[in-house]
Amino acid sequence: MTNASDGPQIIYTHTDEAPLLATYSFLPIVQAYAAQAGVDVVTRDISLAGRILAQFPDRLTEEQRIGDALAELGELATRPEANIIKLPNISASIPQLKAAVAELRQQGYDLPDYPDNPTTDEERDARARYDKVKGSAVNPVLREGNSDRRAPASVKNYARSHPHSMGAWSADSRTNVATMGHDDFFSNEKSVVVEADDTLRIEHVADDGTVTVLKESVPVLAGEVVDGTFMNAAALDEFLAEQVARAKAEGVLFSVHLKATMMKVSDPIIFGHVVRAFFPQVFAEYGDTLAAAGLSANDGLGALLSGVESLPEGEAIKAAVAAGIAEGPELAMVDSDRGITNLHVPSDVIIDASMPAMIRTSGHMWGPDGEEADTLAVIPDSSYAGVYQAVIEDCRAHGAFDPTTMGSVPNVGLMAKAAEEYGSHDKTFEIPVAGSVRVVTSGGDTLLEHQVAAGDIWRACQTKDASIRDWVKLAVTRARATGAPAVFWLDEHRAHDANLIAKVNAYLPEHDTDGLTIEILAPADATTYSLERIRRGEDTISVTGNVLRDYNTDLFPILELGTSAKMLSVVPLMNGGGLFETGAGGSAPKHVQQLVKENYLRWDSLGEFFALAASFEHYAGAHGNQRAQVLADTLDRATGTLLDENKSPARRVGQIDNRGSHFWLALYWAEELAAQGDDADLAAAFAPLATQLRDNAETIDAELIAVQGSPADIGGYYRPDDDKASAVMRPSTTLNAALETLGT
């Protein structure tokens, strides 16, 4: 699915899992409609498989090689003509990366193994290439602007008139968040504002004086905020052991909530600490055996249990794990039917999705018995844990939220140029021996320094001054446009936030803030303030850093709308282009499993519809194409009709799925285009299609539902076969034929 032309283009990204499958169905509709307005919609492959293949051209045949689309789009994002629709993609954990490599090798691609412990130059080279693909490799490259995420009016109105289910809360709920509060990233943070352009160096100085350069070159610009911090491994282990005991004593489920995909160095390590803390006897007795076999707790309990199958002690180790589960508190489950626990896979329980889902479900997670239960949610670092505790306490005091009356919390997020913690991947290290880590200027001066012990996790992150200025400007712009208060979620007691507060106070006077309510509150206080307003039906703009942007754009939409996939997510790029993201709902691996099993895809493309309309509008303004504006306006109205007519995907075989939803949008959109009066020629072009789709609606619906219920072959999970996937996702010959007639 790759095209090219010389004129202005809208780039529609080819990504992963459910969004990718939906693209096979939706993109042909988009391209056919856009072509009538002279708008060229093309694709670029930034899928996990595509990113892997782009790293190894020297090992592939000429026919197998693909360009580095991510690098291409990263460069485009810095130019005024950028217009990119970015669908959710896999932020690969190591197990996912390994699985993708295995599939690609089965498909005939000569890729090396992922080396866990590289010892040769060849292995180190392979590891370095794969590390470019791990975690959230896409977002920091494309996000050359800050984030504006909000629920479109049509979605909010639909949620109020068709409220999603909310679990009841009890005043005696025992659900709580557990967090360290000391010796963690929050408490150990140091922060400086760089006075001049420079190139910094990060180095480790062992207690014996040995100096090891951890990162040779960290370019910085004048005014940039540079932070360093660490999590004390011994304190982490003590904390985790206490929480295991606490969950057991309180009779609640034990769960851990991290972001092993985005924080791709630190959080898998922390996850490994959790696994070891839950199974202390297993690792005391068999730790050396597991290590010798190359099995790491960082990869999760599932990888360990799979890996010991071939070991002589395998049965004994599995028995020890079973004993640990029996002796410990009950574990929260990802899939109780299949025995998949919270500790099985580091990327299975992602905090920004798992915590809101728990809060929405009466503060419960699923236990091993398949029943809901109160939960101790373990969030080791205390930077943002208080946000979730504040919501839990509010629900305990006031009950569940009411989607029919509650207000909204749109977000303005600081993320441009890999801002903040999500830009720390290449500057995060597990410390090998005791000593100090210091950040040093090119002149040899020490900017930041921490005393560290073996096993501690140290990280640095950067935030460009230009990104902060633009963030403040966007916050004021949204406050002015909506009239809602804008609250900067910043804690004066955190080193990084203290520097941001100073900059916010310096840059706010550059804008007209008369009549606006703009405040600065610590995250937990900002949460309480926003919740009070939500319960009164009032809106509050949360102006946050990069991680809280991610957390809040799942937390509040899941409570308000039942999902975060229906958000409008616009990134006004700093150099004038536009990046249009299609919601915060992840890439839905379970949806793919359902499709393969029973040819039913319940992915909701509503986020794609909103992003596409915003993209057309941006295109119209950038290129003076009034027909693109007509496409935007009619698509918005068609989307509203889709919601009103309840043509979004259901959940079960025999009901409308993603493909059916696309058909109904195509019908409503064609009818809107045929009826609009701004462009008579465009209306005339779509009138026959609108009639054809309406007259054949019953037939098309039947064709789309008829294929459901049997397994579907898409030719690959990480890299589907285009022909097979297209055949699965476009099963209506009547719809396909109708689209072919457009413009003829």
Convert the pLDDT of each residue in 310-343 to its tens digit: 999 999 999 999 999 999 999 999 999 999 999 9
**Cα dist from 407 to 13, 153, 388, 541, whole Å:** 32, 12, 18, 11
Query: Residues 296, 303, 111, CA angle at the centre, nearest 5°?
Result: 90
Query: Please, what is the average pLDDT of the chain?
Result: 95
* Per-residue confidence (pLDDT) for residue 140, from 0 to 100: 84
pLDDT > 80? residue 1: no
CB-side neighbour CA atoms (13 Å) of 379: 22
Residue bearing tokens 């446009």 = 481
For residue 67 the two structure tokens come to 């360009």
Cα separation, 618 vs 629, whole angstroms: 8
Cα separation, 635 vs 35, whole angstroms: 15
For residue 195 the two structure tokens come to 């006075």
Convert the pLDDT of each residue in 73-108 to its tens digit: 999 999 999 999 999 999 888 889 999 999 999 999
Share of the chain above pLDDT 90, in %: 90
Q: Which of 256, 273, 241 lies closest to 375 in space, CA to CA?
A: 256
pLDDT tier, 145 (very low <50, low <70, confident <90, very high otherwise): very high
Share of the chain above pLDDT 70, in %: 99
Convert the pLDDT of each residue in 372-414 to its tens digit: 999 999 999 999 999 999 999 999 999 999 999 999 999 999 9
* Per-residue confidence (pLDDT) for residue 2, from 0 to 100: 44
* Per-residue confidence (pLDDT) for residue 152, from 0 to 100: 86
Residue bearing tokens 């919501």 = 391
Q: What are phi and psi of 329, to 5 degrees?
A: -70, 160
Convert the pLDDT of each residue in 670-707 to its tens digit: 999 999 999 999 999 999 999 999 999 999 999 999 99
* Per-residue confidence (pLDDT) for residue 143, from 0 to 100: 87
Cα separation, 503 vs 2, whole angstroms: 43
Cα separation, 546 vs 539, whole angstroms: 21
pLDDT tier, 629 (very low <50, low <70, confident <90, very high otherwise): very high
Cα separation, 288 vs 269, whole angstroms: 18
Q: Which of 11, 21, 180 lies closest to 603 in space, CA to CA?
A: 21
CA 137 to chain centre: 11
Determine the average pLDDT of the residues in 484-510: 98
Angular region, 135: left φ>0, alpha ψ -120 to 50, beta rest: left
Dihedral sign for Cα 6, 10, 11, 14, please.
negative
Q: Which pTM does this prediction carry?
A: 0.84
Cα separation, 271 vs 345, whole angstroms: 9
Evaluate whether 603 touches 18 at the Cβ level (below 8 Å).
Answer: yes
Convert the pLDDT of each residue in 118-128 to its tens digit: 999 999 999 99
3-state helix, strand, coil in the chain (%, to 5): 45, 15, 35
Other CB atoms closer than 10 Å to residue 659's CB: what's the count? 30
pLDDT tier, 584 (very low <50, low <70, confident <90, very high otherwise): low
* Per-residue confidence (pLDDT) for residue 743, from 0 to 100: 72
Domain ranges of the chain: 9-144+575-740, 405-419+464-566
pLDDT tier, 4 (very low <50, low <70, confident <90, very high otherwise): very low
Convert the pLDDT of each residue in 219-268 to its tens digit: 999 999 999 999 999 999 999 999 999 999 999 999 999 999 889 899 99
* Per-residue confidence (pLDDT) for residue 92, from 0 to 100: 87
